[in-house]
């Protein structure tokens, strides 16, 4: 019993050290997902309607209806549920010697990025993120690029500067 309580206490401390994204990221993510998933949904719907109107034999109405229903369910899940799950599971922490990022939808991954491996840090402001005053911070290493999307633009700028400074300091 003591081990379980100790494990829960460690998990609580671990959870406290992670910073979260800005809550506006959920709305931005929903908007981006809606744009992305609306296209196949509208194509399936258009083909189903055209198939019914022109009596296409190669596309029975029930198949078109099932495909459209499938895309509608995917659209609803991707737009309304996925952003909330990703928001709750995403966290990051910046330390003097490393950056830790936790993310995932079904599988949670925790990544440690040593400051000595950071080559440069970038900021991106896409149209949807810009609409909500958010930015995406990209941490570039020799192996890959790690991103933290959904930070307030000012916070992202400060984080970029502090990570750049910490990376320079660890090189010396």
pLDDT in tens, 65-84: 999 999 999 999 999 999 99
At 7 the pLDDT is: 40
At 140-155, the pLDDT tens digits run 999 999 999 999 999 9
The mean pLDDT of 92-111, rounded to a whole number, is 96
The mean pLDDT of 147-166, rounded to a whole number, is 96
Residues 78, 67: contact at Cβ < 8 Å? no
Task: Pull the structure tokens for residue 97.
Answer: 């010697």
Cβ neighbours, 10 Å, residue 117: 17
Min mean pLDDT across 10-19, 42-51, 112-121, 150-159 is at 10-19
At 15 the pLDDT is: 60
Q: DSSP letter string over 105-160?
A: SSS-EEEEEEGGGEEEEEEE--HHHHHTTEEEEEEEESS-EEEEEEEEHHHHHHHH
Q: pTM for this structure?
A: 0.85
Cα 93 from Cα 68, distance rounded (Å): 42
Distances (CA, A) of 77 to 67, 80, 82: 15, 6, 6
| DSSP assigned state of 78 | I
Q: Helix (H, G, I), strand (E, B), or coil: what is residue 20?
A: coil
């Amino acid at each position: 019993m003591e081990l379980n309580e100790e494990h829960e206490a460690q998990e609580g401390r671990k959870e406290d050290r992670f910073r979260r994204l800005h809550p506006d990221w959920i709305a931005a993510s929903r908007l981006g997902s809606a744009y992305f998933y609306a296209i196949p949904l509208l194509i399936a719907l258009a083909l189903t309607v055209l198939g019914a109107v022109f009596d296409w034999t190669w596309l029975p109405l029930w198949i078109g209806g099932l495909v459209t229903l499938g895309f509608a369910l995917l659209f609803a899940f991707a737009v309304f549920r996925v952003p909330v799950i990703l928001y709750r599971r995403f966290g990051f922490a910046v330390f003097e010697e490393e950056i830790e990022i936790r993310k995932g939808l079904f599988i949670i991954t925790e990544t440690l990025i040593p400051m000595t491996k950071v080559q440069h840090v970038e900021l991106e402001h896409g149209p949807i993120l810009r609409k909500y005053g958010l930015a995406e911070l990209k941490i570039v290493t020799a192996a890959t690029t790690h991103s933290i999307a959904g930070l307030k633009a000012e916070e992202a700028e400060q984080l970029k500067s502090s990570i750049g400074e910490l990376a320079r300091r660890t090189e010396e």
